Amino acid sequence: MELTLLGTGAGRPSRLRNVTSMALKLPAPSTSVWLFDAGEGTQHKLLETPLKLNRIDRIFITHLHGDHVFGLPGLLSTRAYDGGVDPVTIYGPPGLQKMVETLFELSGTHIAYDIHYVETIEGLLFDDGHYRVEAAELEHRVPCFGYRITEYDRPGRLDVDKLQAAQVPAGPLYGRLKAGNDIELPDGRTVCAKDVMGPSIRGRIVTILGDTKPCEGAVRLAHDADLLVHEATFAAGLEEKAEAYGHSTTLQAAEIAKRAGALKLVMTHFSSRYELADANRLADEARTIFPVTDAASDGDVFAVPCRS
């Protein structure tokens, strides 16, 4: 499971940072990529990665400010040319469907695959037995949401020593045991899956927040997250400005991570006033409160850690 930051800037593109978007690649055997926000230029940034546009089957939009959504219509249009014929589901605040469909209508754009729109509300949005996605409203100048992605616990690893001791022949029977099914051997003995498998592997939790000032919704979504992505539009000392615009500072992002008991914090959505050379300083500010912090740059890839 990997998260790629496609754009880490706030408000407008700059020479150094594009506006907000990030992609979550689900682990094998899944081939799915989930996109979170799609600021202008997102599809260009995808071209710089190994990620394939036609693998994106779910898109989660946090809010309708342009730096988070203006790249969506173009991306959806290009997806068909990139072999994307399977349906895509888009989650977002009220008005998102109208915005996209109006632009398609006025521009004469025809989409050859199905687009399903789901209006984001607080609570459970999606659950397929492998992943669960929940949303909560944040505090910004327009309706804005954060998303919590929970991976279900996975079966433990097969204990090869125990399998050999039980004289289980390698092959399909291993697969059945791995799937949690008991098997019967040719000599009539039964081998129970629970007896030859290690403990289950804890599922990972990723929390991706939209623009927000510090709020309880952010803490709830980030509770025990293995990876928390939180905006840090401003440096420490600019709390009044952050409050006025519905944003957070580096220290405020770190406080949320600490309160929530997150494992790792990735900060993004930096004001264009900051150069890339400022990234270490911004990260160091947050690390005074929450040591496991990174200040992301465009193109950074973060493997989602897993608690032991």
Positions annotated as catalytic residues are: 67
What's the rounded Cα separation, in Å, for the pair 78 and 159? 46
| DSSP-assigned states of every residue in the chain | -EEEEEE-BSSS--SS--BSEEEEEPPTT---EEEEEE-TTHHHHHTTSS--GGGEEEEE-----HHHHTTHHHHHHHHHHTT--S-EEEEESTTHHHHHHHHHHHHT----S-EEEEE--SEEEEE-SSEEEEEEE--SSS--EEEEEEEPPBPPPB-HHHHHHTTPPSSHHHHHHHTT--EE-TTS-EE-GGGSB-PPBPPPEEEEE-S--S-HHHHHHHTT-SEEEEE--B-TT-HHHHHHHT--BHHHHHHHHHHHT-S-EEEE-B-TTS-GGGHHHHHHHHHTT-SSEEE--TT-EEEPP---
Tell me the CB-side half-sphere exposure of residue 51, using CA atoms within 13 A. 30
